[in-house]
Amino acid sequence: MLKYRLIFEKTDSAVFVSHLDTMRTLQRVFRRADIPVKYSQGFNPHPIMSIVLPLSVGQSSICEVLDFESESALNLKELPPRLTPFCPRGIRITDARLALGKPAAIKWVEVTGTLYGLTQSSDIAAICASDAAVTKKTKKGELNLTLSECVRQPELSANADGTHTLRLFISAQEPSFNPELLGQVLGYGRAEYTRLSLRTEVFDIWL
């Protein structure tokens, strides 16, 4: 049994597809491309595959990761061109490799966002370095997170059309931080966020 890792983009209309529907879609893509995947045992067998750090609905990404198992030795170079033609618009397989690095090593996610109607652009670095708190809704209730523990290296630039571009690192796990929570303290109307890379504790790119 071998464990493989795919890197894929999720953009365009695919950003509105939920995590579970994305999984179902990719399972169909594997079947249509005739890529053998190992199945679980029992009365309800299912493909052994999982998406690392599921993406929030409405956000795009160029660094999504899917791990899967197969009993067969697969040609890594052939996987992206075999799978991508069966993917819906907005999902594109960009790379394939053996799944060697542990997802638990991911500490930070590099994110960029276009902010509309930002009102506190001058002191954004100070705000993100402070103990300002945001509220995250979870299945167990509300959780308060401080920006100083969840945000690193924010860089803000103004655009000619009146929007702002924000680039920063956010906590990936324990706790996980959704960049949309920044709207609670930064005072913008709406934002469009994109994942750029997954990082380790020391900000090295993880894959």
Cβ partners under 8 Å of residue 148, min gap 6: 128, 129, 130, 131, 132
| φ, ψ dihedrals at 104, nearest 5° | -65, -20
pLDDT band (50, 70, 90) for residue 119: confident
Question: Are 128 and 195 part of one and the same domain?
Answer: yes
Residue 39 included in any domain: yes
Question: Are 126 and 79 part of one and the same domain?
Answer: no
Residue 88 included in any domain: yes
Residue 204 included in any domain: no
Question: Are 116 and 34 part of one and the same domain?
Answer: no
| φ, ψ dihedrals at 186, nearest 5° | -90, -15
Q: What is the mean pLDDT of residues 123-151?
A: 88
Residue 157 included in any domain: yes
* Distance (Å, whole) CA 106 – CA 95: 19
Question: Are 91 and 124 part of one and the same domain?
Answer: no
pLDDT value of position 120: 65
Residue 16 included in any domain: yes
pLDDT band (50, 70, 90) for residue 121: low
Question: Are 92 and 129 part of one and the same domain?
Answer: no
CATH number at residue 194: 3.30.70
Average pLDDT, the chain: 93
pLDDT value of position 122: 61
pLDDT digits (tens, 9 = 90+) for 146-168: 999 999 999 999 999 999 999 99
Residue 59 included in any domain: yes
**Total number of domains in the chain:** 2
Question: Which letter does DSSP use for residue 175 in this model?
Answer: S
Residue 150 included in any domain: yes
Higher pLDDT, 131 or 88: 88
Domain of 85?
A: 2-100
pLDDT band (50, 70, 90) for residue 196: very high
Higher pLDDT, 140 or 48: 48
Question: Which letter does DSSP use for residue 120 in this model?
Answer: -
Residue 66 included in any domain: yes
pLDDT value of position 48: 94
Q: What is the mean pLDDT of residues 67-80?
A: 95
Tell me which of 60, 77, 100 is where a domain ends.
100
